[in-house]
Amino acid sequence: MKNPSRSSWVARPRMRAAAIAALLVGIFVFDTGTNLEIAGAVFYVVVILLAIGLLSTRGVVALAAFCVLLTLVSFALTPSGARGAGLANSAISIAAIGITAYLGVKRAAAEAAAYEARSQLVRMARMTNLGAFTASIAHEVNQPLAAVVTSANASLRWLDQDPPNLDRARRSVDRIIADANRASAVIARLRGLARREPPRRERINLNEVIAEAVTLARQELGRNGISLQLDLATDVPPVLADRIQMQQVLGNLLLNAIEAMEAVPVARRGLEVRSFQEGSGRVAFAVEDSGVGLPAEMQAHLFEAFWTTKPGGMGMGLAICQSIVESHGGHIAAAPRLRGGAVFQVSLPAEEVRHERA
Amino acid sequence: MSARDLAGEPEQATVYVVDDDRSVRDALADLLASVGLDVRCFGSTQELLRTGVADTPGCLVLDVRMPGQSGLDFQRQMAGLGIERPVIFITGHGDIAMSVKAMKNGAIEFLTKPFNDQELLDAIQQGIDADRSRRCEARALAELRERWKSLSRGEQEVMRLVVQGLLNKQIAAHLSVSEITVKVRRGHVMRKMQADSLADLVRLSDRLQLDPELH
């Protein structure tokens, strides 16, 4: 289920469910129709193997029980063959079903635990980087501030002397000015870094950016069993934007959507990314997920910095998205989706319009 | 021991500031100068080691976080380097574990930048006072050691037995000398060790016992 090589199956849970149903019927008919000497019921292990990853542990156990029941019913209904051989075959089939279900469920649980550990690690690494970054900024700003405070105290002490040592006091104040400017320069540099001023502006096709971001997220989508639907309008006009920043926005929205769907069953996980033209020369894209959705009280805080619903989250993702989108003259909005889940929509001015205004 | 010290005047104390940030260093030098302290500033512990520490009372103000060697690492190595000076830590981001470690290693104070100037000056004064008494103690012990060395071998033996509470007669028997000899040597011991009484001599001998160089 978490194995990337099986992601094509995972991405189409409905097909898998259909295959399971078809196999159940087929095996039952085959097992009932053939002689008791033929152990058709052994093939139920294929059904169990298909179900592992699609169904919960309890679902797999229930399915295994159902297969055992079908085996017994087949045994009772099969008209021809030796009863002794049929009994032995049924027992072997039931044992095979039971063992497959048990081992499969155990393996899936171990994989899930390994995956959980890995994602914890990734989250921790992300937090550690941010923590280290914050500590480094704090240090950079705090040093000159400490110097300012100390120099100010020194200046007061020079002035308090009898007679006041004005020359030394003035030199202390000169240093205060220099250090305060230094602290201010650190902040200015930081702001430049956060906004990457001036952002590069180039003509970009939003569909291309979406395709790139989705490619980057595909692995993660597969791992989480999320089916993806792309609905990109072919006639979207280009926008003037910073490609990297737009990728950051999309990457953030995709990651949020994936995380929002962690709590819903795999069969119900679906992501849709759309691009479209939005009236008066605007281009928009939307990321829709079938996740846990947006309660009303959440919507008010979504874009606030340091506001988060995720354990271990920083609450910076959407705040950064908003600042990027707004620096491009666009806006970002979030709404609950009608069928459950959430929609995040970003709209940007198309290039022609900006050009006319300028 | 300087000439001024013998005259009874307190020696000028020196504060050694080690911080990699020039602004902080300059500001600290200014603050300490404004209260009349002698300050030497260094950008790293290596720089301090190159210059060395003068044989005068003083203390160290160390930044915890520095490129090269951290203040905490330096504090641990100081004894091995023969730098016995009280340490005051200043740090931009102090956490509890760090300050506990520093205080366990004998730091006087652990201050977070920006710090209160009076707190720092108080800590520095405390450090200097502590260093003065440490130096005083060391000097007294060195002098006592000299007195002990001025005793002849026979006198040292007599002193060892006297402070154990033995009578002259017992000492004479122990060393196989006459009681008169013991009395003479005992007189020399009291004079050379500058002891006023037997109790005084016992006290001096106790302090010498603590001195590992005599063992």
Encode pLDDT of B146-197 as tens digits: 999 999 999 999 998 998 889 999 999 999 999 999 999 999 999 999 999 9
pLDDT in tens, B4-62: 444 456 788 999 999 988 899 999 999 999 999 999 999 999 999 999 888 899 999 99
C-alpha angle A291/A292/A298, rounded to 5°? 125
Contact B114 A135 (CB under 8 A): no
Say if A183 is an interface residue toward chain B (CB within 8 Å). Answer: no
A108 within 8 A of A52, measured Cβ to Cβ? yes
Contact A146 B24 (CB under 8 A): yes
B163 within 8 A of B201, measured Cβ to Cβ? yes
Q: Closest Cα of chain B to A162: distance in Å? A: 12
Contact A179 B115 (CB under 8 A): no
Question: Which residues face A231 on adjacent strands?
Answer: A274
Alpha helices of chain A — where are they, by DSSP H?
Answer: 7-10, 13-33, 44-51, 57-77, 83-160, 166-195, 206-223, 243-260, 296-299, 317-327, 351-357
Q: Which residues of B touch A179 (CB under 8 A)?
A: 23, 27
For residue A67, give the DSSP letter.
Answer: H
pLDDT in tens, A241-283: 888 778 878 888 888 888 888 888 888 899 999 999 888 788 9
Residues in chain A: 358
Q: For A24-28, A149-153, A338-342, which range has the lowest pLDDT when averaged over its residues? A: A338-342
For residue B15, give the DSSP letter.
Answer: E
Per-residue pLDDT at A174: 94
Per-residue pLDDT at A311: 56
Q: Mean pLDDT, to the nearest integer, of A117-121?
A: 64
The better pLDDT of the pair A188, A149 is held by: A149
Contact B115 A146 (CB under 8 A): yes
Contact B113 A168 (CB under 8 A): no
Q: Mean pLDDT, to the nearest integer, of A82-93?
A: 87
Q: How far apart are CA A247 and CA A213, in angstroms?
A: 6
Q: How far apart are CA A286 and CA A274, in angstroms?
A: 5
pLDDT greater than 60 at residue A196: no
Query: Which domains are seen in chain A, by residue range?
Result: 4-123 (no CATH), 130-194 (1.10.287), 203-357 (3.30.565.10)
Please report, for chain B, the start and end positions of each structural domain, with discontinuous segments joined by +.
14-142, 151-208
A157 within 8 A of B31, measured Cβ to Cβ? yes
Residues in chain B: 215
Query: What is the DSSP annotation of A175-230?
Result: HHHHHHHHHHHHHHHHHHHHHTSSPP-EEE-HHHHHHHHHHHHHHHHHHTT-EEEE
Residue of A nearest to B24 (CA): A147
- Of the candidates B27, B35, B65, the beta carbon closest to that of A151 is on B27
pLDDT greater than 90 at residue B133: yes
ipTM: 0.76
User: Model confidence at A2, in pLDDT bands (50, 70, 90)?
Assistant: very low
Per-residue pLDDT at A347: 92
The better pLDDT of the pair A251, A311 is held by: A251
Contact A150 B92 (CB under 8 A): no
Residue of A nearest to B23 (CA): A147
Per-residue exposure over A72-85, b if at least 16 CB sit within 10 Å of its own CB, e if not: eebbeebeeeeeee
Residue of A nearest to B113 (CA): A146
Q: Closest Cα of chain A to B189: distance in Å? A: 55
Tally Cβ neighbours within 10 Å of residue B118: 9
Q: Please give the distance of CA B187 from its chain centroid, rounded to a whole number.
A: 33
Quick one: what percent of chain A has pLDDT higher than 70? 82
Per-residue pLDDT at B130: 94
Q: Which of B139, B161, B154 is nearest to B205 (CA)?
A: B161
pLDDT in tens, A46-78: 999 888 878 888 889 999 999 999 998 988 888
- Of the candidates B31, B92, B115, the beta carbon closest to that of A154 is on B31
Say if B9 is an interface residue toward chain A (CB within 8 Å). Answer: no
Q: Which residues contact A85 (CB under 8 A, 6 or more apart)?
A: A36, A37
Say if A134 is an interface residue toward chain B (CB within 8 Å). Answer: no
B14-142 matches B151-208 in fold: no
Contact B21 A149 (CB under 8 A): no
pLDDT in tens, A162-184: 999 999 999 999 999 999 988 88
CA distance to B55, B172, B192, B194, per residue, from B6 (Å): 15, 41, 21, 19
- Residues 156-195 on B with a CB inside 8 Å of A are none
Say if A171 is an interface residue toward chain B (CB within 8 Å). Answer: yes
Contact A175 B30 (CB under 8 A): yes
CATH topology of domain B14-142: Rossmann fold (3.40.50)
CATH of B151-208, one of 3.40.640.10, 3.40.50.720, 1.10.10.10, 1.10.1040.10: 1.10.10.10
pLDDT greater than 70 at residue A353: no
Q: Mean pLDDT, to the nearest integer, of A280-296?
A: 87
Q: pTM above 0.80? A: no
Best of B15, B30, B111 to mutate (most A CBs within 10 Å, chain A): B30
B11 within 8 A of B5, measured Cβ to Cβ? yes
User: Model confidence at A357, in pLDDT bands (50, 70, 90)?
Assistant: very low
Tally Cβ neighbours within 10 Å of residue A131: 12
Q: Closest Cα of chain B to A330: distance in Å? A: 39
Q: How far apart are CA A160 and CA A276, in angstroms?
A: 71
Best of B20, B24, B41 to mutate (most A CBs within 10 Å, chain A): B24
Q: How far apart are CA A142 and CA A264, in angstroms?
A: 45
Q: Which residues of B touch A142 (CB under 8 A)?
A: 92-93, 113-114
Q: Closest Cα of chain B to A130: distance in Å? A: 16
Q: For A340-354, B72-86, B105-119, which range has the lowest pLDDT when averaged over its residues? A: A340-354
Q: Mean pLDDT, to the nearest integer, of A194-223?
A: 77
Q: Closest Cα of chain B to A155: distance in Å? A: 8
Taking one residue from A and the other from B, the number of pairs with CB-CB distance under 8 angstroms is: 76
